[in-house]
Structure 1
Amino acid sequence: MRLLTLLVLRLMAVVLLCLVVAVGCLIIDAHRSIESDVSATSQRVNTHLQGLYWQHLVWRNGMARGTLMTLPEWKSVATQSIISPGVCVTYAPPGADQQTLCSQVEVLGPQAPQWFVAAYLDILGPHEPIAQNLSIRDSSAGVFVTSADPDAALRRAWREISTVVQFAIMMAGAIAFLAAVMIGHALMPARAIIDALRKLEGGELALKLNKFKSTEFNHISNAVNRLAATLHQNNSERLALTNRLFQVQEDERRSIARDLHDEFGQALAATAALATVIEAGAPADRPDIAKDARSITKAQKRMMDALRTTLVRLRSQSIEELGLEASLRQLINDFNAQSNSGTVYKLHMSGRIATLPKCIAVDLYRIAQECLTNASKHGRPTEVSVRLEHVAETAPHVALTIEDDGGGDASKIRTGSGHGILGIRERLAGIGGALSIGNAPRGLRILAVVPTSAPEALA
């Protein structure tokens, strides 16, 4: 989940929690307000009815004989005016039936929905009525009961709460929008940092982040810049070391090839000459000696062929002496001559190949040699094509393409840990090139591109 979305959701959760707490406080406050209105109404009605009661006593000249006569009509406009909205008063005058007087309910707002009624009653319960004796001196004066009309109480609570909730929802929406804008603006440096890290992953080690207004993001930016500088330095050192290692490797190959040619070559030549002499001088009655001599000659030829093949793989001085074009032609001829499976190796070249720097020529030769070896060793192609093209126009570069029809999965080769592909990548990195491995119509295609204008290429 994106950080902006996560922060907005957390903010909305806090706002929702505050809204729930506020609604709960409003419900409790509305409940207490209704109870307060009931209590205040009870006090006012008590005072009013007591006035009527004592007025009745005075008008009737004190206590009458027998039962006290009915009070004057108490359900009047004067009585209703002192009853709070949503409150009912129930009273039974002496000698009369019980009567109830309620204030208007409609003025308190619309009727509350059933889910609110159920929740309200479950949480707070109904309001308790207040019962009072009209006179503490005369119990026969009767008792009046002041209570909250259930429908009126719910209407009142719903009106207050719905109004606040609507306002709170609008406020929450506004807060969410403004928070998203402000948080998004505050997190903009994070996008730049992420883009920089992706560029670092892609090999752009020369990048540098600018300073941000936020101190925290500045710390991250400085860390990324230090990481980029360190990676750039380490990469430069690694490339220099890689080039040096390949140069040492080439020198060592030349030395081994020279020793093999001078020592083993002469020894094998002497062995062949000695075997010929032995075969020529063998007695007629000892044909086994001539046979053994011929066996030695055959073994010597096989060893000489193996030595020549090894020398071809080891020696690169032919590139310096003959050039890359002739060396590649000789390499293709050797593979065609040594092919036991009928694989045909082809070579196509275009452009000014002879003008390539020596370091590029040697590496391209080794890359072609490694790819041809892998194609013949790990697959069964019927045709392997090598194409070398030097482009000297807009973006000068040299492209080496090796394509075969022996099948294979390019994804496995790209993600594999083989030393051959790793060595090719290291060679190309040392001269500023890039390697691409993909599927051909019936096999694999390996493309090595080296920019001839790069500083590494011209070194």
Structure 2
Amino acid sequence: MWNRFKPDLKLRLTLRVAAISALCFTAIAAYFLVEADRSVHARIDAIAALAARTLELQHNKIQWVNNPRSEFPDLDSVAASVMTPGLCLAFRSGNGDVVQRFCGGAPNADGEPPRVFAAFYRSLFDPGREAVRPVESRGAKVGEAVVWIDPAVLTAQAWHEAGRLMAALAIALPLLCALVYAALARALRPTQVVRAGLERIAANDLTARLPPFDLAELSAIREVFNHLAETLATTLAERSELTRKLIALQDDERRHLARELHDEFGQSLAAIRALAASARHTAAQDCPALLAECDGIARTATDMMETLRGALFRLRPPDVDELGLVASLEGLVAGWNGRSRGRPRFDVRFDGAFENLPAAVGAGLYRIVQEALTNAAKHAGATRVTLELAARKVAGNEDRVIELCIADDGRLGDAAVKSGMGLLGMRERVAALGGRLSFETGPDRGATLRVVIPALADPIVMERAA
């Protein structure tokens, strides 16, 4: 569920590009504001220097012509050439009084910037700063030429320039994000092919291979992926071959052990029973007190014979190829019901025809059922075990599969036992037959074993698996 809310790589990279672009626009805006402030102060410095030089010339001219009635200071000529809206030009006498001042226009009230921006701009740039140049005559200071620009005008101009940049950002950023997302979607399209290949590998399709890619990084991934798939296929094939050999060796050992027990141990028990019967016959004539001991020996030998018969049946099951899978499984279930005396209760149901199964499939299914029933009865403490075997056609073709389902209501505390070596052996048998096995436990108790095996397979593989 959490993966549904995670942004994909395209969206994440697009958001990062958008954030970097916004930072770049902010840096550009800050640069333009700094350059504009520097240009303004350079201009008013130049105007102040021009005004001071003009006033010095005026003052020197008065002294040359000795005409005290000439007006001083006279800033009209300077103001006429440099005056712009918001610019203020003044002459300040030596005692600090402003003798003459000119100001050009007033800030436009309709274009006033927000107060927050105005306070921020004034705290950074000090737009009302004056440019002052001394006015000297014959080495003596007669006053100062002062130039400044109305802070409201500078703030409004800065807001106007910032607004233009923000408008450009509002238009360019969404377009940039759309182009980046489209480019990333096109560039990352091959990752869907990689994902599909991984899903096929996860589904045990080891024939999956990735096609060539244009990008060097994806080409490197392709080479590693294909090499891994080939290595995994080879490894699993070798493992399956080893598993088939181990299963065949195990079955051979079981048959050999069953033969040894039947020939040696079985004959010894039969001899003990015969000797016990002979001893009882002799005791009945000569020593009646030994009759009880003779009967005990006979019962013990009989019980051991029954135990041996059950062990032989488990080691060497009936010939499934001759009796058929259905009859063999019915006999197996009937034997469990007889030995357990109804606790647990074993039920078996069949659906479909099982007459033409390969011998290896029938023998493998019998061994799987035998192991599963043993786990359910001895380790899980189940009270009811249900076995269902069905032969079904695969959708889209004429091939058949055998579906086996064994469910019990046993304790979950012994799930580790049920999923241990017994389940491992069943997995190996199923894998050798080219099938699939799943093991599920219920929320409170009980477990279900499901096996799906193809009804037709390679005869050589089946012969090895048998």
Q: Could you state the TM-score of these two structures normalised by the residue count of structure 2?
A: 0.85
From the superposition, tell whether residues 375 and 94 of structure 1 become closer, same or farther in structure 2 (CA, over 3 Å).
closer
Q: Distance in 2 between matches of 1:102 and 1:332?
A: 112
One-letter code aligned to 1:90: A
Matched, 1:170 2:171: yes
Q: Distance in 2 between matches of 1:70 and 1:139?
A: 19
Determine if contact 2:122/2:155 at 8 Å carries over to the other structure. Answer: no
Q: Distance in 1 between matches of 2:233 and 2:309?
A: 43
From the superposition, tell whether residues 129 and 108 of structure 1 become closer, same or farther in structure 2 (CA, over 3 Å).
farther
Q: 1:355 aligns to what SS in structure 2?
A: coil
Task: Please name the residue that 1:45 is paired with.
Answer: 51
Determine if contact 1:30/1:156 at 8 Å carries over to the other structure. Answer: no
Query: 1:205 Cα deviation (Å)?
Result: 0.7
Alignment match of 2:20 (pick from 14, 38, 49): 14
Task: Please name the residue that 1:183 is paired with.
Answer: 184
Matched, 1:419 2:425: no
Q: Distance in 2 between matches of 1:304 and 1:213?
A: 74
Determine if contact 2:348/2:388 at 8 Å carries over to the other structure. Answer: yes
Instruction: Map residues 304-453 of structure 1 onto 2, 5 A cutoff.
Output: 304-340=305-341, 342-391=343-392, 394-406=398-410, 408=412, 417-438=419-440, 443-453=446-456
Determine if contact 1:108/1:152 at 8 Å carries over to the other structure. Answer: no
Range that drifts further, 329-338 or 271-280 = 271-280
Query: 1:50 Cα deviation (Å)?
Result: 5.3
One-letter code aligned to 1:198: E
Q: Distance in 2 between matches of 1:153 and 1:458?
A: 92
Per-residue CA deviations over 1:402-427 (Å, capped at 9, x if unaligned) read: 233446499x67x9851222222221
Gapped regions of structure 2 (runs ≥ 5): 1-6
Determine if contact 1:56/1:72 at 8 Å carries over to the other structure. Answer: no
Q: 2:355 aligns to what SS in structure 1?
A: helix
Per-residue CA deviations over 1:258-296 (Å, capped at 9, x if unaligned) read: 111111111111111112222332377856533332222
Query: 1:335 Cα deviation (Å)?
Result: 0.2
From the superposition, tell whether residues 430 and 57 of structure 1 become closer, same or farther in structure 2 (CA, over 3 Å).
same
Instruction: Map residues 25-424 of structure 1 onto 2, 5 A cutoff.
Output: 25-46=31-52, 49=55, 62-64=66-68, 71=72, 74=75, 79-92=79-92, 98-106=99-107, 110-126=111-127, 128-137=129-138, 142-282=143-283, 289-340=290-341, 342-391=343-392, 394-406=398-410, 408=412, 417-424=419-426
Range that drifts further, 261-270 or 433-442 = 433-442
Gapped regions of structure 1 (runs ≥ 5): none
Per-residue CA deviations over 1:206-228 (Å, capped at 9, x if unaligned) read: 11111111122111112111111
Q: Distance in 2 between matches of 1:325 and 1:173?
A: 70
Query: 1:98 Cα deviation (Å)?
Result: 4.1
Matched residues, number:
451
Q: Could you state the TM-score of these two structures normalised by the residue count of structure 1?
A: 0.86
Determine if contact 2:92/2:146 at 8 Å carries over to the other structure. Answer: no
Per-residue CA deviations over 1:223-271 (Å, capped at 9, x if unaligned) read: 1111111111222222222222212211211111111111111111111
One-letter code aligned to 1:448: V
One-letter code aligned to 1:372: L
One-letter code aligned to 1:426: E
Per-residue CA deviations over 1:326-377 (Å, capped at 9, x if unaligned) read: 2112111110111056222222223321210001001100111111111112
The alignment's C-alpha RMSD in Å is: 3.4
From the superposition, tell whether residues 458 and 77 of structure 1 become closer, same or farther in structure 2 (CA, over 3 Å).
farther
Per-residue CA deviations over 1:125-183 (Å, capped at 9, x if unaligned) read: 45531223344348685433112322222222222233224324433333222122112
Query: 1:102 Cα deviation (Å)?
Result: 2.1
Determine if contact 1:381/1:405 at 8 Å carries over to the other structure. Answer: yes
Q: Distance in 2 between matches of 1:244 and 1:345?
A: 32
Determine if contact 1:253/1:314 at 8 Å carries over to the other structure. Answer: yes
